Every structure is written in C-alpha cells, then in structure tokens.
Amino acid sequence: MARLGSGHRHRSPRAVTLPSQAVLRDACTSGYDHEPNTHVSDFDAGIPGTLPRLNPKCVELAVRTAMALDADVKSVSRFDRKHYFYSDLPTGYQITQRYSPIAKNGQLILSQSGFPVRIEQIQLEQDTAKTTFDPRRRMSSIDLNRAGTGLMEIVSKPDMRSPEEAADYVRTLQSLLRAVGASDGNMEQGSLRCDVNVSVNRPGDAPGTRCEIKNLNSVRFMMVAISSEVFRHIALLEGGTAVAQETRGFHEDRNETFKLRSKEDSPDYRYMPDPNIPPLVLAKDYLTSIREKMPELPSKTRERLLKLGLSERDAGVLLSVDSGRDVGVDGSLGQGVVAYFDQLSRDHDPKTVVNWLTHELLGQLTLRGKGFGDNTVTASQMGEIIKLVEQGNLTGNTGKTLLRHMLDNPSTTSATELAQSLSLIALEDDSLEQLCRDVLAAMPNESQAVRDGNMNVLNKILGRVMKQSHGTANAQTARRVIQDILRV
C-alpha cells in the first residue's frame, strides 16, 4: 500500500490586485509605497450615504485574464455582499461575486510540466485595508489606502499533486497576468496573494479533509507551507487521528502552519445580493473588441521562440525575465526582454542575439544587482555592438568590454562612436601585421621554436599580440599573420 501523502491535492485561490484605481471605489489612487491613509475614498472609509462605483478598467482586465485562461466569460454577472465585522473593513461587508462570477471553467497549462490545471471561476471583489500589528505597543494600525482596490480571485480545481506543481502554477500564472497587463504579479508587495487548500489521501481513495493556508506571500514559503501541512496530515492519519477541517496560517520563522480557526468557528458571512450595484452586462461587441486586442500569451511566445531555433533553455530564460513580454494595461508592448529580443532578431541571427542577451547583457546586469528593467543599453545600441562584432570591427572580447562600459556609463551616444573613443575598434591589417612583426622581433627564441615545428609556442606569441593590442586584434587573423610571417 502506498504511503499516505502520495495522493495529496492542492487547490489554490489567487487574489490578484488589479493595477487600476479600484473595482468599487471613487477615483482615488492606491499604491504600495504611499503614506498610510493618504488615498482613501469616502465609500471605503465607510462614510454614510456614499455609494460604490464600478471601475470599467478592472472589468476589462478581468475579461482579458479570463480569455487568456480560456474561461467562459459570462455575459451577465452579479455582485454580492460578504458580511463580517473587522477593523480592516469599515463598511462591515466586502463586495464580491460568490454566486455569479464574471468567468468560469478555464484552464492553465503549466509552463514547466505542461500539465493542465482547471480553473473553477474568476471573480471580482474589493480589497480590505491593511492591518499592521505592533507587539511592543500591543496595538494595530489600519491603512485604508488599499481598501476598495480591485481584486480578481482566481480559484483553481484540486488538480495539483505536489509543492513543485503548485509553484509551477503560480509562476505560470504570474507570467500570464503580466502578459495581459492584469497585474505585475509581485507577491512581496501583495499584488498576488495565495490561499492554498491541502488534503491527503491514498491513491484511489477520495480526497481527504481539506485545510486552508491563508495569505502566503512568496512561492518559496508556499512550497514550504504545503510540505509542512502534508507531513502534518500524514502524521495525524498514521497515528489514527482524523484531520480537522481548519483555516491555518504559516510561521515563516518556524516553517510550520498554525491554526487560525476551525470549521465550527468560521463566521456566517450572510451573503446577499448588493442592492447598490446592478448586474454587470457585457455586450458581445465589447468582448469581441477585447479579444481582438489580446497580446501574445507566454505559451505562444515560447512556441515562436523555439521555431526561431532557440533552445528550450534560452527560451525559458527570456520568458522568465520580467515574464519576457511585459504588456501595459493599455495593451501596448512594454520593454520586456522578449520585445527587446524581437527588435534585435529582425536584423541579426536569433541564436547570436540570444547568446548576447542571456550570457552577456543579463549576466552583467545580474552582477550589478540589477534586473532587465534597469537596462540602459537600447536595442539600437545593442544591435550596433552585435553588428560591429559580426563585421570584424570589434572582437568578441572588445564587444563585451564595450557593453560593460555602456552599462556602467549610460549614454545616448552610438556604440560605434563609443568604440572609437575607447580605441576598441579592431586593428587594420597593416597595423596588425606591424604589431605581429614587433612581437616576433621581441621573442626570437619563441619565433625559432615555431619555425622548428613547435606549434604550441605559437599560442604564447599570439597571447602577447592580443595583450599588446588591448584585445582589439582579431585572434584568428593574428594567428594567420604570424604564421605567414614565420612561413609555417
């Protein structure tokens, strides 16, 4: 009999913060780094007599996400009130779409495994305020800035069987959300939050009792929390104790989950239709216009890159950096690394371009503690470097030197002008021949050894030529010139 745990399952609601004003609020901006309580609407503060307003941009982003997930977008959806009393919700209820969501029955193909995860539904709702507890003062501070901000909850079916699959799901979803401009997917800043349901069963048995782990804010912590919860379930079941259905939190310092409340303690939310928000009706023409403007999705981008001759690894690297194609909420292409690659590969061999990007540009940015978003070398400048190397005006080494200089000294000057000012342009044939003759004259013993057939010494002479040329000599050309002079 298989050990308990080989059939554990996960279903993962994802709360996605939409990068727009809000789903149900006045036109107040909300941001991660704003001063507390400086961007609060009257409705979100619970001022009597105020009414919510539906933000059309949030609806559009939800529809785009649903289409990207191949979900059934409903022509009519409705909003409900979820009642509970807590300090982070001044109105006493949260506006959500429990019973009639904006989309249902989608699918997400995981980027690493290719495994399909079913999407149960996608619903719009409003965010709550942020609560920060100060243990020394034993007080909680409430920041209403994010209250009312648009959320999109994406609920998956219990299809994932391991922490690794759950991580693959989140990373694939992040890439998709960024591609359609629905969210930056930044878990550390709360743009994407995960609640994970975990159950354990033997193969062939029905799913076990489900426990929910709330508010996981990184992929790494999510994987640790799932593993911890699976082992807890296994230990209980093998000890003859039933698993109680609970909502649990996660101790990041202890790498273990802890009880928040049991099923019996769960509040009765008293869901009811929201009388202040009419049904959301999406016309066929509206849906068609959004579908026509949908950007290229990561899965299609991967296929296209592979057809250009890129390896799975190189395509994966491009897609993993800023999710490759970064699309703004207006649908215009951003400055993702795949868009950068696309510009360069129009005029240069795609394999050559990807080598420069993955091994040089991205590598140098990483060494400087920067991401691709900090890149100051334009596609035009990068293209010039590649062209100069291809034409022999720069060697591979001097091309890399020029790129590093441009990263450290941002400039609008062309790569050609910079290469000339830094004396990096490859030596002309006459200059190279004279340099080789000077080196050979300074190394008579080595020169004679090469004439006598010891070709290993040739590398020593070549190294001296490259050093004295400061890398501007083409190594293959220099080797040929030396051999011609020595007549070997």
Amino acid at 41: S
Confidence of residue 349 (pLDDT cuts 50, 70, 90): very high
CA distance 89 to 75: 30
Same domain, 232 and 248: yes
If asked whether residues 354 and 462 sit together in one domain, one would say no
Cα 148 from Cα 93, distance rounded (Å): 11
Q: Does any domain span residue 196?
A: yes
Q: Indicate whether 60 and 182 sit together in one domain.
A: yes
Q: Are both 344 and 412 inside the same structural domain?
A: yes
In eight-state DSSP terms, residue 333 is B
32, 54, 365, 419 from 411: Cα distances, Å: 31, 45, 16, 13
pLDDT digits (tens, 9 = 90+) for 33-75: 678 888 888 888 888 988 998 889 899 999 999 999 999 999 9
- Which of 123-127, 296-300, 319-323, 467-471 is least confident? 319-323
How confident is the model over 326-344, as a mean pLDDT? Answer: 67
- The last residue of one of the domains, among 370, 389, 421, is 421
Residues 110-139: tens digit of each pLDDT = 988 889 999 999 999 998 888 887 778 888
Can you name the residues that pair with 204 across neighbouring β-strands?
none
Q: Domain range holding 19?
A: 9-281
pTM: 0.75
Per-residue confidence (pLDDT) for residue 372, from 0 to 100: 87
DSSP for 143-176 reads E-TTTT-EEEEEEE-S-B-SHHHHHHHHHHHHHH
Claim to verify: residue 197 and residue 252 sit in the same structural domain: yes
C-alpha closest to that of 199 among 481, 4, 424, 434: 4
Residue 148's pLDDT band, with cuts at 50, 70 and 90, is confident
Asked if the structure places residue 452 within a domain, the reply is yes
Q: Give 66 or 473, the one with higher predicted confidence.
A: 66
- pLDDT more than 90, % of the chain: 47
| Highest averaged pLDDT of the listed ranges 3-7, 381-385, 422-426, 449-453 | 381-385
Task: Give a yes or no: residue 311 inside a domain.
Answer: yes
| Cα four-point dihedral sign 45, 51, 53, 54 | positive
d(CA 195, CA 176): 19
C-alpha span between 33 and 216 (Å, rounded): 20
Least reliable range by pLDDT among 34-38, 115-119, 224-228, 457-461:
34-38
Q: Which residues pair with 139 in a beta bridge?
A: 134
68 and 85 inside one domain: yes
Query: 382 in a domain, yes or no?
Result: yes
Lowest mean pLDDT among 45-49, 280-284, 326-330, 410-414: 326-330
Q: Using 50, 70 and 90 to split pLDDT, how confident is the model at 324?
A: very low
Domains identified in the chain, total number: 3
470 burial level (CB within 10 Å; 0-12, 13-18, 19+): middle
Phi, psi of 167 (to 5 degrees): -65, -40
User: Within this chain, do residues 77 and 161 fall inside the same structural domain, yes or no?
Assistant: yes
The reported pLDDT for the residue numbered 31 is 56
- Cα-Cα-Cα-Cα torsion 258, 264, 265, 271, nearest 10 degrees, comes to 120
Whether residues 218 and 75 fall in one domain: yes
Indicate the angle between helix axes 456-468 and 444-451, nearest 10 degrees.
Answer: 140
Structure tokens at 172: 């694939």
pLDDT for res 128? 86
Residue 290 lies in a domain: no
389 and 435 housed in the same domain: no
> What mean pLDDT is predicted for residues 73-89?
92
Say if residue 248 is in the same domain as residue 310. Answer: no
Half-sphere exposure of 181 (CA within 13 A, CB side): 22
> Does one domain contain both 179 and 57?
yes
The model's pLDDT over 353-399, given as tens digits with 9 standing for 90+, comes to 999 999 999 999 999 998 888 899 999 999 999 999 998 888 888 89
Measured between alpha carbons, how far is residue 117 from residues 70, 126, 161, 229 in Å?
12, 26, 11, 21
